[in-house]
Structure formats: C-alpha cells, structure tokens
Structure 1
C-alpha cells in the first residue's frame, strides 16, 4: 500500500500553516492505527518473508494464473480469466474478484492460483495470511454478503495435480443463505487415489459463533499456520487472530499430512453447487454482484 510522504507534507504545512504539522502527525498516527486494526499480522524475527502480493493497481497479477473453465463443484459458475483485476477499494489497492449473472442459471466469476508454491520441511513453519472483504452491490447500493444467497467465496491452498493425493487446506469457505444468514468454515481434504477424497467433510470446522463478516468494516485477517516439528505436522487456521481449528493426523480418520505436496494459494468465488439440497439454484440471489476484495497476501517462514 502506498502512503503519503510525511516529510513533504510536514515541510509544506510548516511553510504555510504552523498547525498543519500537528494535524498531519495525528492523521498519520490514525492511519497507522487503522492499518494495524486491519492486518494485525505478527511477522517479526525469526519470520522471513517468502512471498507477497499487495495487488498494486496496474500490476497485472503476474504472480498468478487466472483460470478459464467451469467450476468443478457447481453447474452454475464459469470462471473467466478477465474477471480478476486490481482496483482501488476502501482506499486500498486490492485484488477484486466479482460475479456477473449471465442468464437465469449461469454466473461468471474469477479464480486465481499463485505460481508460488510452498510446503514446510522438517522443523519449519509457514504462515499464510490475507486480508479479505466480502461485499455485494445492488445497483449503486452496497449490500451485506449475508443478504445474498448462493455465493461461495474461498481462500485456500492446494496441490491441484492428482487431487486430493497431495492435500487441500481450506482457510476460509463462505456460504451465503439469505435472508441475513451466512456460514464460514475451514476444512481439509486428502486421499490416496486421484479424485477420491477419503475425509468427506469430517475435517470441516465452523468459524466462531460470534464471527461477524460485516465487522471491522468487512475486513478480516485469515491465516493458515502449517508446521512440521520432528516430522509431526500441525495445521492451525485463524481468523482475526482467533483459532478456528487445529489439525493433526489424529484429527480425522485417514488424514496423512506427511503425504501433502507443495501448495499453491487460491482465491475464488463459486456460485451455487451441484447439490441442490445444499444450495437451491432457484434461490440464488447475488443482486448485481458479489465481490471479494483482497488487500494483501503474504507467506512467511521460520525455524522451529
């Protein structure tokens, strides 16, 4: 994120109005406080940054692959490579993924996969973090994600080749079931044969009951901590620094984190489902659009 050059601002104010310097310092302090409230990332020593994208407007998303295909889990959603863009939103430079209704039962959306991949070696830990906001629009009016029905945004990591034999870690999966309802979960998928998930949804964990997607102006910090200590793997999912779930091989029958491969990072918004009992296609209502804004995404690594 770009910030105003404080030195230039102070010099200008000093020459023009003596009180401006004090106001500028107050504004800078306020901006820093707001930034900390938004991100609250803990990445001091011994954490070392491995990957970052701040989604500067005009950057072209060169660190990502933009998918062009139908969604695997829904009859109603196609991904277009033209959808993921960088935009100024809420005064931040963001990745924006938005939905568009093409006809009664077809929606266009976006799906991006990082070219960067990671996996902890023994006695190391990785921290994957992203600041995300989910919002809808009805014409020129903003609507809550909770007012929509049938939206399915996600922030996750996966080794796509040979899925699910190299694992999948879902940090955030959101589901909208209006009126005024939504559900957020984490999940893990794994199997020993291509196309066959052995876990079902046994690893799905609901977010805390008091999680409010509209809180903090809609911005939330979503994190995955993936570590291997003496060949024992632990994955911890957090939202706004609150633990959602902690997984080990013993958490779910048939789970084997030690067989997970290197993972890419994914952001997408699916619409609907192939299971009409889960998401009724006749009830889908995304107003004009549902959007995912991602302020930044980072990966840090440390020895443990």
Structure 2
C-alpha cells in the first residue's frame, strides 16, 4: 500500500510538472506569438517573419472582415505599405519567394471562406517568367481547404519556443521585420547595396515562360468582382543595364507586357528611374526601402503619376524603346559605378 501510494504520488507530481511546463511554454509562445495567431508580439515592439505562408494566413483569418483588398507577391511586395492604398482596406498577403501559383491557391482558400475583395493587387516581376523558378511551397492544408494547425498544438512545441526566444533576444531570420501593426520594414543591419555586385540570381535564366500568365487569368476567375491591378516591383537600373548588354532585355519587356494584358491596370516600376538609380533606396538591388515603396503605393492606382510606365497604354515596341531611352538618360550614373 505504501509503495502504491508512493507511485501514485510520484506520477501525480510528474503529471503536474509536465502540465506546468506545457502551460509555461504555451504562455510564453502565446505572448510573443511568432506565428501571429493572436495579433503578434505583446512582449516587444517587433515581429519576425519565421513562416509568412502560415503566419499571414493566421493573421488574416482573425480579421478578414476588416479588408476589401488583398495584395499578393514575393518578398519585394511585402514592403508595399497596404495602408497607403487610398480608398481601400488592404491586407498584404505577399511572402518570401511567393509565386503566382501560390497566390492563386491562397486566393481560392480565402474565397472559400467567404472573402470577396473589391481590389486585388499582384506584384509581377519579370523573374516570374524564367524557364525555371523553383518549386512552389503551398501548405497541405491550403491545398485541401482544411483549417491551419491550431495555436494550442503549435505553441506547445519547443520549436515555437525557440522562435519566441529569438524574437525577444536574437536577430531576424530575414532582412525584413514587421512592426506591431504588421507593416513590413527593412531589418536593422541589412547590407548596403553595391551596384558593382550583381543582384542575386539576376542571370538565373531568360524570361521565356510567358505561359505562366494563365495564373493571372485564374485570379480573375476566382475574384471576378474585383479590379485586378498588377505592377512590376522596382529593380536596380544596373540590373536592367546588364539585361540589355546580355541581349535579354527584349524577352524581359515582352514577358511583363504579356502579363499586363491580363490586368485592368498595370504599372511598371522596374524601368530605370530616379527611384531605381538611387542606391540608397535598396539594400540589394531588388528589395526597396519603405519610402520608395510608399511612392509606389501612392502612384499605383493613379495613371500618369511618377516615372512608372502604364503598360496597358503601350505596345511592346514602345516599352522597349522607353527602357533604352531611360538607360541612355542615366548612362553617366550607370557607368560611374
């Protein structure tokens, strides 16, 4: 009897200890909220992006009724300030290495949950039309239409605890971070752009896979009531110059012009301009600063504003001629770096 009581007491104490540890792990993870189930970090002033494909969906599902506009794209588009899109309440659904196929999958998912936006904005870099762009990373629950993993299960793990620890005491896993209001910012310590160093993967392949514009057609089918707006995010003028020297610029222009036909509005902010010739606007030649992206957001829906091209109003030959004219315009600066 004595031994039996001892064992029961030991097991009860062990269970209580395990429950206390689990509760503590969950409490810390819920407070820091690295996967954005509960509105983000309440113990600090910054949110890190550990898995934007999951964390942004968690955030959206918690407040989807607040929005009538959604933005899709890759890491360059995460820096577009959604609050600056005048006349709409936008949610920025862009994430690292985001592809049009993934945007379509997420669009179907949120449509099935009753979301019907008035405006859809898509970042459309020419790199989306390379012959090889890598595999997609669509979570299984998105493909199946199931709910994401609940916070209770996610936040009982030590993996999540390591994310919380890093949020509080470590550095960002990306060169981008998010404010308490989930506005994307370039992280402290991001590199300084040197035009003499090529943009990463700049010459990874020519822009010939224009059949991928079918994904933009699918987006229109998913949200037929929405205005569909596309834009080319800015890219270093030195990268455009390198494409021209390599003989790739006609393919580049043809790809984005083909994409433009699938949208109601389409602006090209990648053409050489005062924005893309200023090295202080970017840390790597392809991710642009908050002020630069604010300029883009303010001009995105306004025809004729700024130096961006309106590809809906131009032939492909006119676009190519404009690119070469801009390269000539900025030749002295391009050759000085």
TM over 0.5: no
Q: Which has the higher helix share?
A: 2
TM-score, length-scaled by structure 1: 0.28
Which is bigger in relative contact order (C-alpha 8 A, separation at least 6)? 1
Larger radius of gyration: 2
TM-score, length-scaled by structure 2: 0.26
